[in-house]
Structure 1
Amino acid sequence: MKRLVVVGTGPRLYREFMLRSIGERYDVHLVIGRPAEWETPYVRGVSVVPGMAADGIVAAVRDVVARDAADGVMTWAEDHVVGTALAAAAVGLPGPGPDAARACRDKHLTRSALAARGVPQPQSELVADVAEARAVAEKFGYPVVVKPRAGVASQAVALVRDGEELADHFASAHRLPAAGLRSPDRSVMIEEYLTGPEIAVDSVVRDGRVLPVFVSHKEMGYAPYFEETGHWTRGDDPLLGDPAITRFLAQVHTAIGYATGATHTELKLTDEGPKLIEINGRLGGDLLSYLCDSASGVDPGLALAAVSCGDVPDLTRTRALCAGIRFAYPPWHETRVEGIAFDESALPPEAGLAVPLVRPGEVVLLPHKDLMEGRVAFATAAAATRAELSAALDRALAALRCTWSPA
Structure 2
Amino acid sequence: MCLYLTALKPTTAVTDGLLPAAARLGLPVVLLTDRPSVHLAAYRGHPCPPVAVVEAAVSDAGAVAGRVLALGERHGAPSALLSNSDHLQAATALAAALLGLPGKDWRAAMRCKNKLLTRRMLAAAGLDTVASVEIGPGEDAAEVAAKLPFPAVVKPREGVASEDVLLVGDLAELAAQAAAIRRRRGPCALVAEEYLAGELHTYDTLGDGERLHRFGSWRTSLGQPPFFTETGRDWAPRLPRQAERHLRAQLSALGVGFGACHTEFVLDGDRARVIEVNYRLIGDTMEFVCGDLLGVDLFEQVVRLHLGEPLAALPDPSKVDGHARVRYLAADRAGTLTEAPPDLAEELPGGIRLGHRRLREPGVSAPLHGTNRDYLSVVHAIGPVPGAVSAAVDEFVSRHVWTVAG
TM bin, normalised by shorter chain, reads 0.7 to 0.9
Which secondary structure state, in structure 1, belongs to the residue aligned with residue 387 of structure 2? Answer: helix
Retained in 2: the 8 A contact 1:58–1:83?
A: no
User: Structure 1 residue 262 and structure 2 residue 260: aligned?
Assistant: yes
Contact 1:6–1:28, Cα closer than 8 Å, also in 2 = no
Give 1:117 shift.
1.3
Give the equivalent residue in structure 1 for 2:118.
110
SS in structure 1 opposite 2:70? Answer: helix
Could you list the per-position Cα deviations for residues 19-43 of structure 1 after superposition, in whole angstroms to 9, with x for gaps in the alignment? 2133202414222322652596436
User: Partner letter of residue 397 of structure 2?
Assistant: L
- Tell me the SS of whatever aligns to 2:249: helix
Q: Secondary structure of the residue that 2:401 maps to in structure 1?
A: strand
1:336: Cα distance to partner? 4.7
- TM-score by length of structure 1 reads 0.84
The answer for the alignment partner of 1:285 in structure 2 is 283
- Structure 1 gaps, min length 5: 179-184
CA offset at residue 154 of structure 1? 0.4
Find out whether 1:214 has 2:244 as its counterpart: no
Partner of 1:244: 242
Deviations 1:109-146 (A, max 9, x none): 22222222122252211123798543565533211111
SS of 1:71 mapped into structure 2: strand
Name the structure 2 match of 1:385: 385
Residues 140-149 or 36-45, more deviating = 36-45
Given the alignment of the two structures, is residue 80 of structure 1 paired with residue 84 of structure 2, yes or no?
no
Q: Indicate which of 139, 150, 155 corresponds to 2:147.
A: 139
2:213, 2:274 → 1: CA distance? 17
> Aligned to 2:355, what secondary structure does the other structure show?
strand
Residue in structure 1 matching 2:170, options 147, 150, 162:
162
The alignment status of 1:95 with 2:103, answered yes or no, reads yes
Q: What residue identity is the alignment partner of 1:60?
A: R
Structure 2 SS opposite 1:140: coil
1:61 aligns with 2:36: no
Alpha-carbon offset, residue 51 of structure 1 = 4.8
Aligned counterparts of 1:25 and 1:192: Cα–Cα separation in 2: 46
Q: 1:367 to 1:379 in 2, by over 3 A?
A: same
Quote the Cα distance in structure 2 between the aligned partners of 1:291 and 1:343: 14
Amino acid aligned to 2:79: D
Q: Which runs of 4+ in 1 moved over 6 A?
A: 343-347
CA contact (8 A) 2:130 2:194 kept: yes
Q: Map of 1:4-403 to 2, 5 A cutoff? A: 4-8=3-7, 11-19=10-18, 20-33=20-33, 34=36, 36=40, 37=43, 41-42=47-48, 45-46=51-52, 48-54=54-60, 55-63=62-70, 68-128=76-136, 133-134=141-142, 139-175=147-183, 177=185, 186-233=188-235, 237-239=237-239, 242-271=240-269, 273-317=271-315, 319-330=320-331, 332-342=332-342, 350=352, 352-368=354-370, 372-403=372-403
Query: 1:341 Cα deviation (Å)?
Result: 2.6
- Is the contact between residue 49 and residue 56 of structure 1 (CA under 8 Å) also seen in structure 2? no
Query: What percent identity do the matched residue pairs reach?
Result: 26
After superposition, the Cα gap between the structure-2 partners of 1:130 and 1:160, relative to the gap in structure 1 and judged at 3 Å, is farther
Amino acid at match of 2:133: E
Q: Is the 2:203–2:262 Cα contact (8 Å) retained in structure 1?
A: yes
Query: Which has the larger displacement, 94-103 or 32-41?
Result: 32-41
Alpha carbons 1:347, 1:396 under 8 Å: kept: no
Q: Secondary structure at the match of 1:154?
A: coil
Q: Is the 8 A contact 1:6 1:29 kept in 2?
A: yes
> Using a 3 Å threshold, how does the CA distance of structure 1 residues 47 and 359 change in structure 2: closer, same or farther?
closer
What SS does the corresponding residue of 2:31 show, helix, strand or coil?
Answer: strand
**Alpha-carbon shift at residue 269 of structure 1 (Å):** 0.8
Q: Which amino acid is the alignment partner of residue 281 of structure 2?
A: L
Distance of 1:245 and 1:212 partners within structure 2: 14
User: Is the contact between residue 344 and residue 399 of structure 1 (CA under 8 Å) also seen in structure 2?
Assistant: no
| CA RMSD across the alignment | 3.2
Q: How high is the TM-score relative to the length of structure 2? A: 0.84
Mapped to 2, the partners of 1:218 and 1:148 lie a distance apart of: 21
Matched residue SS, 1:84? helix
Instruction: Report which stretch shifted further, 161-170 or 81-90.
Output: 161-170
Counterpart Cα distance in 1 of 2:347 and 2:338: 22
What residue ranges of structure 2 are gaps of 5+ in the alignment? none
Per-residue CA deviation, residues 177-235 of structure 1 (Å, 9 max, x unaligned), is 59xxxxxx61211111112111111212222532222112212103110001122335x
Per the alignment, in what secondary structure is the counterpart of residue 340 of structure 2?
strand
Distance in 2, Cα, partners of 1:345 & 1:294? 12
Task: Supply the distance in 2 between the matched residues of 1:287 and 1:372 (Cα, whole angstroms).
Answer: 12
Q: Distance in 1 between matches of 2:182 and 2:266?
A: 25
Q: C-alpha deviations, 1:53-85, integer Å up to 9, x for none? A: 424322233335567333332221223212211
Closer/same/farther in 2, CA of residues 351 and 396 from structure 1, 3 Å limit: farther
Corresponding pairs, count: 392
3-state secondary structure, aligned to 2:284: coil
